[in-house]
Amino acid sequence: MSEHYPALLVILPLLASFFISAAGWLRPVCCFPLALAALGSSLLVSLGLLGDVISGGPVSYWMGGWPPPWGIYYRVDYLNALVLAVVCAVGFVNLIAARPSVEKDFPEKAGPFYTLYVLFVTGLLGMVATGDAFNLYVLLEIAAITGYALIALGKGRAALSSLHYVFLGTIGACFYLLGVGYLYIITGSLNMEDIARLLPPLYESKVVTVAFAILMVGVWLKMGFFPLHAWLPNAYTYAPSPVSSLVAPLMTKVMVYVMIRMVLTVFTVDFAFLVLRLNEVVVWLAVIAIVMGSLLALAEKDVKRMLTFIVVAEVGYMVGGFWLGNQAGFTGAVLHILNDALMTLCLFLAVGNIVHVNGDSRWESLPGLFRTMPWTMGALVVGALSIIGVPPTCGFFSKWYLLLGAIQGGHYGFLVALLFSSLVSVVLFFRIFEIGFFEPFGASHGSAHGEGGPAIQEAPLGMLVPLWMTALGLILVGLYTGEIVGRVIRHAVPGMML
Amino acid sequence: MKTLGLIIVGLVGAGLVYATIDFPPFGDPKSPASLHVSPRYLEKTVEETAVPNAVTSVLGDYRGFDTMFETTVIFCAGVACFLLLRIPRRRSSGPRQYRHRLTGLTFRIKEGGEIFLPLREFEPVDSIWTPHDFIIEKVCRYLIPFIQLFGLYVIAHGHHSPGGGFQGGVILGASIILLSVSHNLRTALNRMGEKISALFSPVGVFIFAGTGALCLVLGYRFLDYQALAALLPGGPIMARSHGILLVEVGVGMAVMGTMVWIFKNLASRGRYDEGL
């Protein structure tokens, strides 16, 4: 059975989504258990794959039994095995936390909601696992369409922000497709490794250069890389909380993975770093992204909206780390995909709990929260410490590698940007802690609670357990960083960067 | 801002055109795209899949995995429209009136009331309703069965001529939409209810993915239709051809169901009450 893992990983949730959709009409109670079973089995398969890759090296799978240049194949190596496990884990944990808010906010739409939820995760898994440039586009479409629909489900300006996202996301996907089309014209192949094999004699061709440029811009647009981030804050703010805690940790991270995969496997490191010599420029772009993302976050007075700008800054971390072009930077970038997915999940889940209980996440709703929602705020503190980069949370370790990469590469601009952003994060989160802890518990709740202070009004257990699983995960991943880097990421570093 | 946008668009366009300098000449038989993977598709399609139409064999078999997800994209679009547009509780739209065509009697239906009247005999009386043209109604009634028959032909004959699940499904879906446009939404809903169209799309995609999963269960790789030789007559090569047919039927169902489903949601603004 284990040789079928790469296919099962995607097929199980895909098949389940059809059953969930049908169950929405015939037996709505079954929707959630089906979704849980689908993502749970995917998680197990992805862990099995990770184990296989660690023990036996990369795995590949020919869809339909056709050999690579003709058919589509999936290839799981050290790099994407890790990302696959993260995507599954985040999707699964967030699904558990999603249930109370779904039942509260749109109970009659649970069927289609869970269908799109599972399909979104399926799309992301396929994007990460595939070894075919066009197949990646098809799965990107699935993840995008389901993402737009889920985001538009929110209240207020959600539909408008989603429409904005639809326009920009479609442009991004089109650019990616154009890039792949140009590559196909010049090489005649869609298979990633096959393209890489055919490209070297064509490095001087204008087609390859333009294909690279347009493909990168498309991917950057989809990941919200700074000047192209305009769609991101509104879309993630107005989305319903179970959706923002799904899309925000995963979509941008998977697009960062796609960027790394495209440079590593399709265009090859030699082309990107030696022929085009883009690294210096892109790292400076990342510096701007980090600084601007942090500054814009500083201007916000809504926790959720502030987090979306932190996501923008974090994208800069990963892009910059990768384009530093040395081993430490690469390790930091890949490790940060894992860590940032977990940190973002933890923070968005915590905010989701606050929204679930209080109705919104603006600063006016924060006072006294440490007393009324101690568990939620405790997890928020862990997530915040990780974003700031305090050991032993995992955020510290990836930042450490990124700093190391900046020093080794002699790129002090990036170094300063990283430190600046950490300092800004300290300010951002301690402002929240201050309001939540010290500010007098407002007149809104008044004296009804009497002398002993306000009663505890915590989110339901179904939301607290996944939140704390994530928070503990942050610390665990931090403690096992050595293992993760030594056993997995070290093998993914391309030869040129060693 | 507008000028800036225009400049960017101009630059990107210029970049794309600039790259065409190094394109292989148009229609060049020696271009990489016609030398690398396509020759095998063109030369071996009959030998390997028993399907003469190379487009069908590439879509259904060589790159069938892509096609499965393309069908899933359509399914996603249907679910997305439903999720965002459908209004589950009936919104009060004020009282409505219906006139009996033969006797001229008028019924008033209270706010939020159910429509129980057989719509063939009654016509709604309101400002947005326009009476239907007798000729259009009759012509469409006689046309629709033939349109549907042609749709089935297009699905079934995709192996030999241009066609297949997507095109056939669109024709089938369009026939139901034509019924709704020429009569009214409720007539179309009586023929193909909301639940049926909503179940058609997941069932259609499930036929596709399920065929693939069946191959996996039978011990081959996912979507490797050879495995079906154990269940169908004609050996492994014919099994590929049969597998493609099965999959095309699934695609046709999914496309038809989703088209009708999306149309109903859009046309009635999610109320499934009155509409086009």
Q: Domain limits of chain B?
A: 51-86+130-267
The answer, yes or no, to whether residue A175 has pLDDT greater than 70, is: yes
Question: Residue B135 CB: number of other CB atoms within 10 A?
Answer: 8
Chain B residues close to A61, C-beta within 8 Å: 221-222
Q: What average pLDDT does range A366-379 have in this prediction?
A: 85
CB contact under 8 Å between A138 and B70, yes or no, is yes
The answer, yes or no, to whether residue B115 has pLDDT greater than 50, is: yes
How far apart are the C-alpha atoms of B126 and A237, rounded to whole Å? 42
Chain B residues close to A108, C-beta within 8 Å: 88-89
Mean of per-residue pLDDT scores for chain B: 84
Using DSSP, state whether B106 is helix, strand or coil: strand
The answer, yes or no, to whether residue B228 has pLDDT greater than 80, is: yes
Interface contacts A/B by beta carbons within 8 Å: 172
Q: Does B147 touch chain A (CB under 8 A)?
A: no
The answer, yes or no, to whether residue B63 has pLDDT greater than 50, is: yes
CB contact under 8 Å between A25 and B19, yes or no, is no
ipTM at complex level = 0.89
Residue A497 DSSP code: G
Using DSSP, state whether A235 is helix, strand or coil: helix
CB contact under 8 Å between A149 and B80, yes or no, is yes
How far apart are the C-alpha atoms of A384 and A351, rounded to whole Å? 12
Confidence at residue A164, expressed as pLDDT on a 0 to 100 scale = 92
Residues facing residue A132 across a β-bridge = A191
Q: Nearest 5 degrees, angle CA A376-CA A381-CA A387? A: 125
CB contact under 8 Å between B38 and A188, yes or no, is yes
**Mapped to the 3 state alphabet, what secondary structure does chain A carry?**
CHHHHHHHHHHHHHHHHHHHHHHHHHCHHHHHHHHHHHHHHHHHHHHHHHHHHHHHCCEEEEHHHCCCCCCCEEEECHHHHHHHHHHHHHHHHHHHHHHHHHHHHCHHHHHHHHHHHHHHHHHHHHHHHECEHHHHHHHHHHHHHHHHHHHHCCCCCHHHHHHHHHHHHHHHHHHHHHHHHHHHHHHCCCEHHHHHHHCHHHCCCHHHHHHHHHHHHHHHHHHCCHHHCCCHHHHHHHCCHHHHHHHHHHHHHHHHHHHHHHHHHHHHHHHHHHHCCCHHHHHHHHHHHHHHHHHHHHCCCEHHHHHHHHHHHHHHHHHHHHHCCCHHHHHHHHHHHHHHHHHHHHHHHHHHHHHHHHCCCEHHHCCCHHHHCHHHHHHHHHHHHHHHCCCCCHHHHHHHHHHHHHHHCCCHHHHHHHHHHHHHHHHHHHHHHHHHHCCCCCCCCHHHHCCCCCCCCCCCHHHHHHHHHHHHHHHHHHHCHHHHHHHHHHHHCCHHHC
pLDDT, tens digit (0-9, with 9 covering 90-100), for B68-110: 999 999 999 999 999 888 876 555 566 777 777 777 777 777 7
In A, minimum Cα distance to B35 occurs at A188
CB contact under 8 Å between A15 and B209, yes or no, is yes
Q: Out of A70, A108, A146, name the one closest to residue B76 (CB).
A: A146
Chain B, 89-118: which have a CB under 8 Å from a chain A CB? 89
pLDDT band of residue B114 (cuts 50, 70, 90) is low
pLDDT band of residue A488 (cuts 50, 70, 90) is confident
Q: What average pLDDT does range A384-389 have in this prediction?
A: 91
pLDDT, tens digit (0-9, with 9 covering 90-100), for A283-336: 999 999 999 999 999 988 888 999 999 999 999 999 999 998 888 999 999 999
Q: Which of B75, B79, B194 to mutate to test the interface with A (most CBs of A within 10 A)?
A: B79
In A, minimum Cα distance to B21 occurs at A206
Q: Nearest 5 degrees, angle CA A25-CA A29-CA A32? A: 100
Domain ranges for chain A:
278-443+454-498
pLDDT, tens digit (0-9, with 9 covering 90-100), for A110-161: 889 999 999 999 999 999 999 999 999 999 999 999 999 999 988 888 889 9
CB contact under 8 Å between B76 and A61, yes or no, is no
pLDDT, tens digit (0-9, with 9 covering 90-100), for B163-176: 888 999 999 999 99
Q: Does B66 touch chain A (CB under 8 A)?
A: yes
Report CA Rg, chain A: 22
Q: What average pLDDT does range A430-434 have in this prediction?
A: 88
Confidence at residue A120, expressed as pLDDT on a 0 to 100 scale = 95
In B, minimum Cα distance to A151 occurs at B84
Q: Which of A2, A18, A73 to mutate to test the interface with B (most CBs of B within 10 A)?
A: A18
The residue among A121, A94, A104, A95 whose CA lies nearest residue A155 is: A104
The residue with greater pLDDT, A487 or B128, is A487
Chain B residues close to A184, C-beta within 8 Å: 33
Q: What average pLDDT does range B142-158 have in this prediction?
A: 92
Chain A residues close to B205, C-beta within 8 Å: 18
Q: What average pLDDT does range A457-467 have in this prediction?
A: 86
Confidence at residue A446, expressed as pLDDT on a 0 to 100 scale = 47
Q: What average pLDDT does range B235-260 have in this prediction?
A: 90
Using DSSP, state whether A277 is helix, strand or coil: coil
CB contact under 8 Å between B19 and A189, yes or no, is no
Mean of per-residue pLDDT scores for chain A: 88
CB contact under 8 Å between B16 and A214, yes or no, is yes
The answer, yes or no, to whether residue B49 has pLDDT greater than 90, is: no
